[in-house]
Structure 1
Amino acid sequence: MHLLMIITAVTVAWTLRYFGNIPQGNWNWRWERSLFLFLFPPLLIFMTAVAVLCMGTQGQMGGMYTGSFSYILALITLTCFSLLCIKLALQGCKSIQSTLQYPQLNLAGKQARILPTKALFAGQIGFWQPELVVSQGLLQTLSPAHLESVLAHEQGHYHYRDTYWFFWLGWVRSCTAWLPNTEPLWQELLVLRELRADSYAAVQVDPLILAESLLLVVSNNPVTEEICCAALGTIGGVNEIHRRYRLEERIEALLTPPEATIKTQLKSWHIFILGFLPLATVIFHN
């Protein structure tokens, strides 16, 4: 019976990911829809494994005897998930330790670490309380107005705690790389994260100046993904053509009036409660 639960959870998760297309249109709707497709299938699998582990290897469920195979399978799954989390956390801590070696400078009232490179880089590195990191090349190249727009964008990342939340989303990505559409959904969430930070900054600075800064940073130093890092130059995309499209999307969003927020069918986090349903099966085990 426990094995049937696991097979059902994996089948539902795989089906949702395979047939759930990445939405188009309003980026608020895209965010909620993409986050659901990215998180719900792994949550269902994780909760099923936890339920099987709680029920153990003895007893009956639905008139069927349980065995040790499903228990061992759930234990291996949760162990792998835990090891991946520890691995990513250690990589994140290593990045933070490297960041702390750089000298600090006060930029517009904010403490920033100065990266000794001519490349153009600005980003938040850390977990819940990330450090602002900017390169010497950025300070030497950008005008005060452009630098202000970059700092406003990075403040958006800090406001939404993007480094913290995307650490956990990155963990989910690593755990479920075998599910369909994991990478496209991850790239979609990355660009939506940047669109959100752009929108936050556009309220405080001239959107045109921010768009020019984005072009300068991306053209001089395309940013690669790092653990616990949220940077202005992060574009997202599985290939060069897709990255160029994502860059054009961000610039177009900055140069056009903000979209009206539409009502969606996904009401906050309520839909994710369904992912915890496997835990309810524990009461039927005896």
Structure 2
Amino acid sequence: MHMLMIVVVIAIAWCVRSLENIPQTTNHRICWVSRWQRSLFLFLFPPLLLFSNAIALLCMGSQDMMGTWHTGKFSYVFALCYLLTSILFGIYLAYKGWISVQSARNNPQIQLADQKIRLLTTGALFAGQIGFWQPELVISQGLIKSLSAEQLETVLAHEQGHHYYRDTFWFFWLGWVRKFTAWLPNTNILWQELVDLRELRADAYATSQVDPLLLAESLLLVASNPPVTSDMCCAAVNSYGVQRLEQRIEALLSPQETLETKQKLHYPAWNQFLFALLPLIIVFFHR
């Protein structure tokens, strides 16, 4: 019976990810709220279902009965290995994030526009929040020298948006989910969609303080520089590809959507995820 639970849950998780038509569009007129909530639900629901099923199997043990069906050791060991593997992935990613934080803290701290920042001694154009719940702003010497004071202000405003929404913290956990569910369909597509919307949200936050045209100009200036570190513990102004940059520029230059609409990128209602906890109910029918 436990093996049947595993097969059914994996099938449901696979179908949720594969049968849905994942939007691969850069059309700025599509509602940001709908894109964010839909993509986050499709990204998180399958792993949450798999997790709750594995926990339920561990709670039920390996030598009992569920109704009239016998249970076996294989499903118990399978669930235990799945949970341990995902935990090990989390520890590994946390260690990599800690290394990035320590590397950032090795740089000198200076005052820039009433903000404390870490100065990265490189000619590359880089600005990003590095850390977890309380990230530090890291800016390269190359960026300070290449941008005007007004352009630098737009970059700082964008990074303030990442700090306001705690993007480094939440995307660390989303990156962990991405790591141990890479075998599910559309994982990378949904990840890129969420990163796109994260950047659009930070841009929208910045445009409440600075000129959007100036921000678009700053983005173009740093577009040729690749991200310095991982998206999972870093939210950098230049963490995008060409297609993502085009989408951001289009959104900044377009008057079609109001700022208020763009900023309402809230997380989906948690009651949508209650169905993922159904395997835990089965524990009560176990003896």
The 5 Å alignment of 1:114-153 reads: 114-153=119-158
Give the letter aligned to residue 247 of structure 2. E
Q: Distance in 1 between matches of 2:286 and 2:68?
A: 9
Q: Distance in 2 between matches of 1:224 and 1:63?
A: 57
Partner of 1:259: 257
8 Å CA contact retained: 1:191, 1:234:
no
1:208 maps to 2:213:
yes
Query: Displacement, 1:61?
Result: 1.0
Partner of 1:14: 14
The share of aligned pairs that are identical, in percent, is: 60
Query: Displacement, 1:257?
Result: 2.5
Partner of 1:268: 269
Partner of 2:227: 223
CA, structure 1 residues 255+234, in 2 after alignment: closer, same or farther (shift >3 Å)?
same
1:155 maps to 2:138:
no
Partner of 2:242: 244
The 5 Å alignment of 1:106-121 reads: 106-121=111-126
Query: Displacement, 1:94?
Result: 0.5
SS at match of 2:249: helix
Q: Distance in 1 between matches of 2:21 and 2:111?
A: 45
Q: Distance in 1 between matches of 2:94 and 2:50?
A: 22
Residues 111-145 of structure 1: CA distance to partner in whole angstroms, max 9, x if unpaired?
A: 10000000000000000000000000001110000
Q: Distance in 1 between matches of 2:110 and 2:88?
A: 37
Moved over 6 A (4+): none
Partner of 1:180: 185
Q: Distance in 2 between matches of 1:26 and 1:36?
A: 16
Give the letter aligned to residue 164 of structure 1. F
Partner of 1:239: none
Q: Distance in 2 between matches of 1:259 and 1:19?
A: 30
Give the letter aligned to residue 197 of structure 1. A
Partner of 2:4: 4
Residues 239-265 of structure 1: CA distance to partner in whole angstroms, max 9, x if unpaired?
A: xxxx3222111001011126264999x
Partner of 2:108: 103
RMSD: 1.7
8 Å CA contact retained: 2:40, 2:268:
no
Aligned match for 1:82, one of 87, 92, 95: 87
Aligned match for 2:196, one of 180, 185, 191: 191
Relative contact order: is structure 1 or structure 2 higher (C-alpha 8 Å, sep ≥ 6)? 2
8 Å CA contact retained: 1:225, 1:234:
no
8 Å CA contact retained: 1:218, 1:233:
yes
Query: Displacement, 1:224?
Result: 5.6
Partner of 2:238: 233
8 Å CA contact retained: 1:115, 1:136:
yes
Query: Displacement, 1:230?
Result: 0.4
Give the letter aligned to residue 149 of structure 2. P
Q: Distance in 1 between matches of 2:120 and 2:93?
A: 23
Give the letter aligned to residue 284 of structure 1. F
Give the letter aligned to residue 272 of structure 2. I
Number of corresponding residues: 277
